[in-house]
Structure formats: structure tokens, C-alpha cells
Amino acid sequence: METTFRHAERGDEALILEFIKALADYEHLADEVSATEELLEEWIFDKGKAEVLFVLADGEEAGFALFFHNFSTFLGKAGIYLEDLFVKPEFRGCGLGKALLKELGRIANERGCGRLEWSCLDWNQPSIDFYLAMGAEPMDDWTVYR
């Protein structure tokens, strides 16, 4: 299987929303999705507030990562915050999630970012195991507030 990447372009809003809804369904949060294609176009493409990277398997979009820059005052530089990472179930176990995370790390390094970070639901043991296997370190001293 040939693995490639592409950044989302204007016109990909329906595909992005499809991935968002699939992730929300997996996380048992489908009823919380209020995003629309119009909102995604506005915030991702018009305002440039987030980016989307697709991983392709033999030319088919098999997974996505939605991310944006944050800033660390302690490091004095920007970082990348990974909001969503999702691989379609039929493509899992093929190394696409690992490839996508590595590509995000490459992008962070290329941009001179100080870190790449994300959150994971406490019950999502398959994802936790995946992140730990990739060398990620949980930030046990921090609690997310909203």
C-alpha cells in the first residue's frame, strides 16, 4: 500500500466533516457535532485558524489530522496542537495513524515548533496504547478545563 499525504484544500469541507462525524461517532459524542461545511470553510480556509492533513492509502483518503498552532510562553515558541486524529476502521492496523503522527512531527520540526501535543479521552485505551507506543508522554500534572 502506497502512503501519501496531502493538505486539505478549499472544496474538501464535506470530506473534513465526514471525518469529524466519524470520529465523534467513535468517541460516542456524535450529538455534540454542530460543525457545518460552511463553518469549516470559514474557519479553516477563510480565517486560516486550523489546518487539515489527510493520509492517503493508494490515493484514497484513509485518515485525517486537524491541527493548529498554539504558543508556549516558557519555550518562547509556537507548538502544534493536534485537535483530531482519525483513521477509518477499514484502514486501521496498517501503520497509517503512526505515519500521520510522524508527519505532524516532521511538520512541527520543519516549522521550528517547540512541541506537538494533544488530548485523549481517559476511556480510549486503544488510542492511549497507540500514543504510548509512539513514545508520547502523558502530562499527568495537568487537567484540562473548559
- Just list the catalytic residues: 131
Distance CA 17, CA 36 (A): 7
Length of the chain: 146
Side chain identity at residue 62, one-letter code: A
Q: Is 78 helix (H, G, I), strand (E, B) or coil?
A: strand
Do the Cβ atoms of 60 and 95 come closer than 8 Å? no
Instruction: Report the C-alpha dihedral over residues 25, 46, 14, 36, rounded to 10 degrees.
Output: 50
Distance CA 111, CA 100 (A): 17
